[in-house]
């Protein structure tokens, strides 16, 4: 059971086509593909030449007819071909004939018959097929020659692959190829303006040179996953009107030493041939990590690749007219030499969209879909805080899928609600059946979260509470965070108190605890730890901060780096974290005891309806206090 909805799933993670007639393909060596079938057909025709070529051997006779003509003195002469039992001869009237006889022809009786009627006959060996004779002699040599040719072509292909391993794998996009434009990107006006300056410089460099302005050589797009960094790069490809080379950081790495540096050189060589060009490197952190921070030493392949890139971007040979556009969501691990002016002069932050930008993004993804009249994208944008552009695109697509499942011809508001619940809280687990005891415990647990969300002054507004299993949770209490960029100490304290609500409610009602509060305790402990260690919100610790995360892939001072504080300070930190958690647990117990009537009412209603909205929970809370007029502040 979870008091907070799980974070949105990661975004799900190009277009290429070629139209027009294709040139006729040829085999290695220049032979067209139809050559081999034609040659085989000619050989087969020559083998069957005797059978297919029409012959004038006369009338076909059966063996009985042949004996009858011999007895009638109509056969003048004939020739018997050994081995084939075929006879070709001439009748007394001058016409020719042919027939087939049995084996061992002629026997003594047939010899006497032929002699009695004065029939001249002779034997001959069958004619030999010269083509078959030559083929039988040449076939072994032909097989050997064919095998040698195949081995030679295979070796040439492998050598070609080896020789091309150092070439860049960048994909080139021509200026006239249709692509994404800035019109396809909603919001982010500041980001568009900064990138548009680069595009304008590449289109009209004289305009900037007149007053001595120098365009940034490198622009680094920084932001969380799914915010559209790669989409901006595709838009630049569509807007720039110059050559555009796209490559990912992993394309430079190979098992062979020096390949990455060779591909960097080849990439910039391709860009220089284009005159003015944009190079886009996606996920540059895979090759741009800090040098000397790993365990590979100076001969590490990644470091060699980075050294070559630093030289190409701003070394002795300048790269005028070439702009590097890169994207990453981990700028803290990039090498300082890569971020200095002259290389990546400008860092552009692509943050999570605000409410107005989310509405514009929803409109972009909904423009090709049939929307119902009750769909309010402005409300939906306010109900999806913290979602990236990829998440919003997923919500719109899920809404369309829900509409199809319902058999509807258009997407309606209920479809957006279901899609948002699925993306934020996970899919509903229809197959999971809870016992009556588990279902009641879940209802009490979520009721504790919901009531504290309503009564706490600094909690986020309550949106919905449900005991329907979704994702990994048996129940969910969902609040909608307001748009804010800084958070107060009171907000975090109320958040921890709210997280304790489920555990405390079960203890009040049942008198014992269960394992359903594991995720709540994990979230509360994490917030309390950061309050003490990072945000300076502890009187005992004071204005001191220690980073709560480590550079996972960096080996800086791997053997020497230890804890940043003493054992005494560590004990003080642990004591402060425990004090905050215990204090908020006592506070939650006091508030739920005060609202025990509302706790019972909300849990009973949840058992009956399974889902309640924030307004209904707030109404029950105020009715339990005898106030039927004023609604609480912490309700959506």
Nearest to 443 by CA among 588, 605, 598: 605
Q: Cα separation of 487 and 555, whole Å?
A: 33
pLDDT at 30 over 80: no
Top-confidence residue, 46 or 252: 252
339 and 460, same domain (yes or no): no
Is 560 part of any domain? no
Top-confidence residue, 624 or 45: 624
Task: Return the pLDDT at 280.
Answer: 82
How many Cα neighbours within 13 Å face the side chain of 237?
23
Is 296 part of any domain? yes
Residue 297, number of CB atoms within 10 A of its CB: 8
* CATH assignment of the domain containing 75: 3.30.720.210
pLDDT tens, 200-249? 777 777 777 788 777 777 888 888 888 878 788 777 777 777 777 777 77
276 and 210, same domain (yes or no): yes
Is 381 part of any domain? yes
pLDDT tens, 418-448? 888 888 777 777 667 778 888 888 889 999 9
308 and 227, same domain (yes or no): yes
Top-confidence residue, 582 or 552: 582
User: Of 425, 451, 481, which marks where a domain is finished?
Assistant: 425
CA distances from 161 to 155, 156, 166, 264, 538 (A): 10, 9, 10, 18, 62
* CATH assignment of the domain containing 482: 1.20.58.760
Q: Cα separation of 324 and 310, whole Å?
A: 12
User: Of 349, 378, 411, which marks where a domain is finished?
Assistant: 349
Task: Return the pLDDT at 445.
Answer: 92
Task: Return the pLDDT at 219.
Answer: 83
In which band, very low, low, confident or very high, does the pLDDT at 177 lie, cut at 50, 70 and 90? low
93 and 179, same domain (yes or no): no
531 and 474, same domain (yes or no): yes
Is 28 part of any domain? no
Question: How high is the mean pLDDT of the chain?
Answer: 76
Q: How many domains does the structure of the chain reveal?
A: 4
pLDDT tens, 550-571? 544 444 444 445 567 888 888 9
364 and 342, same domain (yes or no): no
B/e letters for 460-475, b = 16+ CB within 10 Å, e = fewer, are bbbbbbbbbbbbebbb
Lowest mean pLDDT among 302-306, 338-342, 466-470, 502-506: 302-306
98 and 181, same domain (yes or no): no
User: Of 124, 157, 180, which marks where a domain is finished?
Assistant: 124
385 and 441, same domain (yes or no): no
Which residue numbers are catalytic?
446
In which band, very low, low, confident or very high, does the pLDDT at 29 lie, cut at 50, 70 and 90? very low
210 and 101, same domain (yes or no): no
CA distances from 118 to 112, 121, 140, 481, 506 (A): 10, 10, 51, 122, 127
Q: Cα separation of 39 and 105, whole Å?
A: 42
Top-confidence residue, 551 or 312: 312
Task: Return the pLDDT at 588.
Answer: 93
257 and 368, same domain (yes or no): no
Is 133 part of any domain? no
> Model's pTM, two decimal places?
0.63
| Helix (H) and strand (E) counts in the chain | 21, 14
400 and 539, same domain (yes or no): no
Q: Cα separation of 221 and 227, whole Å?
A: 10
For the sheet containing 476-479, what is the strand order?
A: 476-479, 462-466, 611-613
Domain of 414 in residue numbering reads as 355-425
The SS3 of residue 346 is strand
In which band, very low, low, confident or very high, does the pLDDT at 24 lie, cut at 50, 70 and 90? very low
Is 431 part of any domain? no
CA distances from 152 to 121, 155, 240, 603 (A): 59, 5, 46, 80
487 and 612, same domain (yes or no): yes
Contact 466, 445 (CB under 8 A): no
């Amino acid at each position: 059971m979870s008091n907070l909805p799980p974070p949105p799933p990661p975004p799900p993670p190009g277009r290429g086509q070629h139209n027009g007639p294709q040139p006729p393909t040829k085999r290695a060596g220049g032979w067209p593909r139809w050559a081999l079938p034609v040659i085989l057909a000619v050989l087969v025709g020559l083998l069957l030449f005797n059978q297919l070529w029409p012959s004038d051997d006369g009338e076909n006779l059966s063996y009985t007819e042949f004996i009858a003509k011999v007895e009638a003195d109509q056969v003048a002469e004939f020739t018997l071909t050994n081995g084939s039992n075929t006879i070709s001869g001439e009748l007394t009237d001058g016409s020719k004939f042919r027939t087939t006889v049995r084996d061992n022809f002629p026997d003594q009786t047939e010899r006497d018959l032929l002699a009695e009627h004065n029939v001249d006959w002779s034997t001959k060996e069958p004619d030999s097929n010269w083509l078959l004779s030559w083929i039988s002699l040449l076939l072994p040599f032909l097989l050997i020659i064919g095998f040698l040719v195949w081995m030679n072509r295979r070796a040439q292909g492998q050598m070609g692959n080896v020789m091309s391993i150092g070439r860049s794998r960048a994909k080139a996009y021509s200026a006239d190829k249709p692509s994404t434009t800035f019109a396809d990107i909603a919001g982010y006006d500041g980001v568009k303006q900064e990138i548009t300056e680069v595009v304008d410089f590449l289109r009209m460099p004289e305009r900037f040179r007149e007053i001595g302005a120098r365009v940034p050589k490198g622009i680094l797009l920084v932001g969380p996953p799914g915010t559209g960094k790669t989409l901006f790069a595709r838009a630049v490809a569509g807007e720039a009107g110059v050559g555009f080379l796209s490559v990912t950081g992993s394309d430079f790495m190979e098992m062979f030493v020096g390949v990455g540096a060779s591909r960097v050189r080849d990439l910039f060589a391709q860009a220089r041939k284009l005159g003015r060009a944009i190079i886009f490197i996606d996920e540059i952190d895979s090759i741009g990590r800090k040098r000397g921070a790993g365990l590979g030493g100076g001969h590490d392949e990644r470091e060699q690749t980075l050294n070559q890139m630093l030289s190409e971007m701003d070394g002795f040979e300048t790269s005028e007219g070439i702009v590097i556009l890169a994207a990453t969501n981990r700028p803290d691990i990039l090498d300082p030499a890569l971020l200095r002016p002259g290389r990546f002069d400008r860092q552009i932050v692509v943050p999570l969209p605000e409410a107005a930008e989310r509405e514009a993004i929803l409109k972009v993804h909904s423009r090709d879909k049939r929307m119902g009249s009750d769909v309010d994208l402005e409300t939906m944008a306010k109900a999806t805080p913290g979602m990236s552009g990829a998440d919003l695109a997923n919500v719109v697509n899920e809404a369309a899928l829900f509409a199809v499942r319902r058999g509807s011809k258009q997407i309606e508001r209920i479809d957006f609600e279901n899609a948002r619940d699925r993306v934020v809280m996970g899919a509903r687990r229809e197959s999971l059946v809870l016992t009556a005891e588990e279902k009641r415990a879940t209802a009490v647990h979520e009721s504790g979260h919901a009531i504290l969300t309503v009564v706490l002054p600094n909690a986020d507004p309550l949106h919905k509470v449900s005991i329907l299993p979704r994702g990994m949770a048996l129940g969910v209490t969902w609040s909608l965070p307001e748009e804010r960029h800084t958070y107060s100490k009171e907000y975090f304290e109320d958040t921890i108190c709210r997280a304790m609500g489920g555990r405390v409610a079960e203890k009040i009602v049942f008198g014992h605890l269960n394992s359903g509060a594991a995720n709540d305790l994990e979230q509360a402990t994490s917030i309390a730890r950061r309050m003490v260690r990072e945000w300076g919100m502890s009187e005992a610790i004071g204005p001191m901060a220690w980073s709560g995360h480590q550079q996972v892939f960096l080996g800086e001072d791997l053997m020497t780096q230890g804890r940043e504080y003493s054992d005494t300070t560590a004990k003080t930190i642990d004591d402060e974290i425990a004090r905050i958690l215990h204090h908020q647990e006592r506070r939650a117990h006091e508030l739920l005891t005060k609202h025990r009537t509302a706790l019972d009412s909300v849990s009973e209603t949840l058992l009956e309806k399974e889902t309640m909205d924030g307004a209904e929970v707030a109404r029950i809370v105020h009715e339990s206090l005898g106030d039927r007029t004023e609604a609480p502040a912490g309700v959506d």
